[in-house]
Amino acid sequence: MVKKAVIPAAGLGTRFLPVTKAEPKEMLPIVDTPTIQYVIEEAVSAGIEDILIIIGKGKRAIEDHFDRSFELENQLQEKGETQSLEQIQKIANMANIHYIRQKQLNGLGDAIYYARQHVDDEPFAVLLGDTVISSNSHPCIGQLMQLYDRFGASIVAVEQVPRQKISRYGIIKGKAIEPRLYLLEDLVEKPKPEESPSDLAIAGRYILTPDIFDCISRTPKGRGGEIQLTDAIRLMLKYHALYAFNFEGKRYDIGNKMDYLKTIVEFALKRDEFRVEFMEYLEEIIQQKEQKP
Ligand code: G1P
């Protein structure tokens, strides 16, 4: 059974400068909630209570966000703003959150390696801190956890991406064995579209068995001169059957500006207090654009 989750959140966010110069990209707000809070809520709603966040230089704001803030709590209490008070207390009580610092940026594979002692000999979930996945049914990581219970094997979430986005992702080659489910045959990190084995991209959610750590330690530097998790999983393929699952839900990639903008608009439209007025505003903008010669 999967009981622990690891959230790598050490990257510099260079695709999102200048805001990420001093702000962690995982703290970028989707309306009023930092991205990483959604990620943790996904893990918690799948039944995970133990979360290890891999942080790095300049990521203090993440720790502060999930800590208690007595000053703020006192002030809200005095003002009688009980709703806001409950909201911020809930954030601090969401899960048992632990932190470890990646000392040198050396890729996603290297970041995951820092979790070795914490997860010990248990399977664990990995949720990338800059990817939000919403689902009408079961949280994405919960879907993978159910499959882990069935197969006892590592599994990666995948989704179809358009050809022009292939080189942004790890791409899998798999044999379809059930609707949405693939037996992994190969993985490649950020291939050129013409060399890609498929259009199924690794979507930032994984269940990994602890033997990944040995594989990471034997993985040479790959794309971008970094130790890639994709390459380490590829090495695991030599020893085990691994799976990929085209999850049910929608993925929001906060790591790039255009997808971030779209995410904010969609999340704002999901909120009762904004929907009507915000939609009217968007319609107004579209009309103005159409009227221009
Ligand atoms: C990472 C992984 C890649 C995966 C992607 C999903 O890349 O290396 O395999 O497809 O996350 O967001 P990054 O976005 O960190 O460059």
Is 207 a member of any domain? yes
Residue from 80, 85, 39 nearest 62 by CA: 39
- pLDDT tens digits, one per residue of 153-171: 999 999 999 999 999 999 9
Band (58; pLDDT cuts 50, 70, 90):
confident
pLDDT for position 293: 60
Q: Residue written as tokens 């709590």?
A: 73
Question: Does 66 sit in the ligand 1 pocket, CB within 6 Å?
Answer: no
Domain CATH for 228:
3.90.550.10
- Closest atom of ligand 1 to 203 CA is 6
CA distance 159 to 45: 21
CA distance 13 to 69: 26
**What percentage of the chain carries pLDDT values higher than 70?**
99
- pLDDT tens digits, one per residue of 130-149: 999 999 889 999 999 999 99
Say if residue 292's pLDDT is above 80.
no
C-alpha separations of 108 from 6, 12, 99, 153 in Å: 12, 12, 16, 20
- Cα dihedral sign for 199, 257, 264, 54? positive
Question: Does 172 sit in the ligand 1 pocket, CB within 6 Å?
Answer: no
* Contact predicate 62/97, CB 8 Å: no
pLDDT for position 11: 86
Mutate to test the pocket of ligand 1, among 14, 169, 229 (most ligand atoms within 8 A of CB): 169
- pLDDT tens digits, one per residue of 241-277: 999 999 999 999 988 899 999 999 999 999 999 999 9
Is 261 a member of any domain? yes
Q: Domain of residue 261: give its range.
A: 4-271
- pLDDT tens digits, one per residue of 191-229: 999 999 999 999 999 999 999 999 999 999 999 999 999
* CB neighbours of residue 260 within 10 Å: 20
Question: Does 169 sit in the ligand 1 pocket, CB within 6 Å?
Answer: yes
> Total structural domains in the chain?
1
- Closest atom of ligand 1 to 189 CA is 9
Please provide the DSSP assignment of 25-84 as one string: GGG-EETTEEHHHHHHHHHHHTT--EEEEEE-TT-HHHHHHTS--HHHHHHHHHHT-HHH
Is 279 a member of any domain? no
Is 282 a member of any domain? no
Residue 270 tokens read as 């999901």
Is 39 a member of any domain? yes
- pLDDT tens digits, one per residue of 75-120: 999 999 998 999 888 888 888 999 999 998 899 999 999 999 999 9
pTM of the shown model: 0.94
Mutate to test the pocket of ligand 1, among 141, 168, 254, 259 (most ligand atoms within 8 A of CB): 168
Q: Tell how far the Cα of 173 is from the centroid of ligand 1, in angstroms.
A: 16
- Closest atom of ligand 1 to 228 CA is 8
Mutate to test the pocket of ligand 1, among 108, 184, 257, 259 (most ligand atoms within 8 A of CB): 108
Question: Does 204 sit in the ligand 1 pocket, CB within 6 Å?
Answer: yes
Task: Please list the residues that pair with 184 across neighbouring strands.
Answer: 174
Is 276 a member of any domain? no
Is 288 a member of any domain? no
SS3 assignment, position 281: helix
- Work out the widest C-alpha separation in the chain, in whole angstroms: 65
Q: Tell how far the Cα of 232 is from the centroid of ligand 1, in angstroms.
A: 13
Is 284 a member of any domain? no
SS3 assignment, position 168: helix
- Closest atom of ligand 1 to 130 CA is 12
Residue with more model confidence, 163 or 290: 163
- Closest atom of ligand 1 to 170 CA is 9
Q: Tell how far the Cα of 152 is from the centroid of ligand 1, in angstroms.
A: 24
Q: Tell how far the Cα of 130 is from the centroid of ligand 1, in angstroms.
A: 10
